[in-house]
Amino acid sequence: MRSPAAPQPEMAISHLSAGPTHLPLPPLSLSSRRPCTPRTIRTRTLPDTNLNPADKKLKWVLRVSPVGQAPSPAKPPVDVDRLVEFLYDDLPHLFDDQGIDRTAYDERVKFRDPITKHDTIAWYLFNIAFLKIIFSPQFYLHWAKQTGPYEITTRWTMVMKFMPLPWKPELIFTGTSVMGINPDTGKFCSHVDYWDSIQKNDYFSSEGLWDVFKQVRKYEPFIVVETDGEKLSGSKGFNDVAGYIFGKNSSQEKIPMTTPVFTQAFDNKRSKVSIQIVLPLDKNMSNLPDPNLEGISLRKVEGGIAAALKFSGKPVEDVVLKKERKLRSSLERDGLKPKIGCLLARYNDPGRTWSLMLRNEVLIWLEDFKLD
């Protein structure tokens, strides 16, 4: 007797091979009292028949999106007042050994001034370190205040000395910085400088590069020995004033030679010109010997603030006058008050310096100049 036939599955094999099997979804129970949370529905496995291995396990998976899920917490607003106070404390350390707090800046921070640009905090700090070596700057913060929803503006003065040169010329810059704040991090993401002395502040500004060569300096009082000259670029009278420091004086004292040698025009028509040698700063009118020659005199210059324009080459009269006009017009455009007259400063060893290596400056004294 034959054994009874094995029970057949409810679904024929041919039906399975014809296409995917659709199994009924288990019922979902959604509670109205609390939001539904994501869950995975249990899988069902077909009976073990002669299916392809890939068809042996057909799974239904349902991911239900949450309903009424609480929104992400809002980011706290940026405390701009706190950042203003932070800048008052932090920026005075810009060029000292402590330095600024780099954690207050994004890693990608945009720095721009008329002649420099950087896009990371690392290069921003490198630029500060470079300025410390070359210029030994002093930074003075006058004020800081909020000027936009995510913006703080500061006003400052920076005094720099060009250390590689032996006479260490001094530069004074005034301007403002606009500090942008990243609303997502609450950190500074940009720093853009605007110099008061120029109109075109966008990088790269040739006007800004020119402004570096135009310096504003503070001179302490000093004493000169002088005599009449003939023109700004002339050398008439130099041997007479040089003779004074070489011992042609009442005590035959030899006085160290200093630079620069000045020629000064006392009015804009250059009707009166003198040639001068600056005497050492440790000398004063009471301990200097009297000149032996008639026409040689000692004079104390009270010092003050002067603007200077450097140039190289032989200082012929036309070149000197052109530099003087350029400097004067630049000062007037900046709202400064140049005094009448000017000086030519020469920093060269007479007869021993090649023409291309000659270093010269035109200087103009300023009236009512204030750093703030």
Mean pLDDT of 178-182: 97
Q: Is pLDDT of 290 > 60? A: yes
Residue 72 domain flag: no
Examine the domain organization and report whether 210 and 224 are in the same domain. Answer: no
| pLDDT averaged over every residue in the chain | 80
Looking up residue 340, the CATH number of its domain turns out to be: 3.20.80.10
Examine the domain organization and report whether 292 and 328 are in the same domain. Answer: yes
Backbone angles phi, psi at 127, to 5 degrees: -60, -40
Nearest to 302 by CA among 316, 285, 319: 285
pLDDT of residue 370: 61
Looking up residue 141, the CATH number of its domain turns out to be: 3.10.450.50
The mean-pLDDT minimum among 58-72, 182-196, 273-287, 333-347 falls in: 58-72
Task: Output 199-205 pairs: Cβ under 8 A, ≥24 positions apart.
Answer: 200/114, 201/113, 201/114, 202/114, 203/112, 203/113, 203/114, 203/115, 203/116, 203/117, 204/114, 204/115, 205/114, 205/115
pLDDT digits (tens, 9 = 90+) for 201-244: 888 777 666 666 667 787 889 999 999 999 999 999 999 999 99
pLDDT of residue 29: 40
Examine the domain organization and report whether 182 and 288 are in the same domain. Answer: no
Examine the domain organization and report whether 134 and 177 are in the same domain. Answer: yes
Q: Is pLDDT of 264 > 90? A: yes
Mean pLDDT of 247-268: 93
* Higher pLDDT among residues 43 and 212, named by residue: 212
Nearest to 241 by CA among 287, 291, 200, 284: 291
Mean pLDDT of 261-279: 94
Q: Which of 30-44, 122-136, 324-338, 342-356 has the highest mean pLDDT?
A: 122-136
* Higher pLDDT among residues 199 and 89, named by residue: 89
Residue 166 domain flag: yes
Mean pLDDT of 119-132: 94
Q: CB under 8 Å to 318, separation ≥6 — which residues? A: none
Examine the domain organization and report whether 224 and 362 are in the same domain. Answer: yes
Q: Is pLDDT of 292 > 60? A: yes
For residue 72, what pLDDT band results from cuts at 50, 70 and 90?
low
* Higher pLDDT among residues 20 and 258, named by residue: 258
| % of the chain at pLDDT higher than 70 | 72
pLDDT of residue 54: 47
For residue 199, what pLDDT band results from cuts at 50, 70 and 90?
confident
Domain region containing 197 = 80-216
pLDDT of residue 171: 73
Cβ atoms within 10 Å of 87's Cβ, excluding its own: 20
242: Cα separation from own chain's centroid? 43
Examine the domain organization and report whether 247 and 150 are in the same domain. Answer: no
pLDDT of residue 330: 83
Last residue of a domain, one of 199, 216, 233: 216
Examine the domain organization and report whether 230 and 209 are in the same domain. Answer: no
Q: Which of 16-30, 69-83, 184-198, 350-364 has the highest mean pLDDT?
A: 184-198
Q: Is pLDDT of 99 > 60? A: yes
pLDDT of residue 355: 66
Domain count, the chain: 2
Amino acid at 147: T
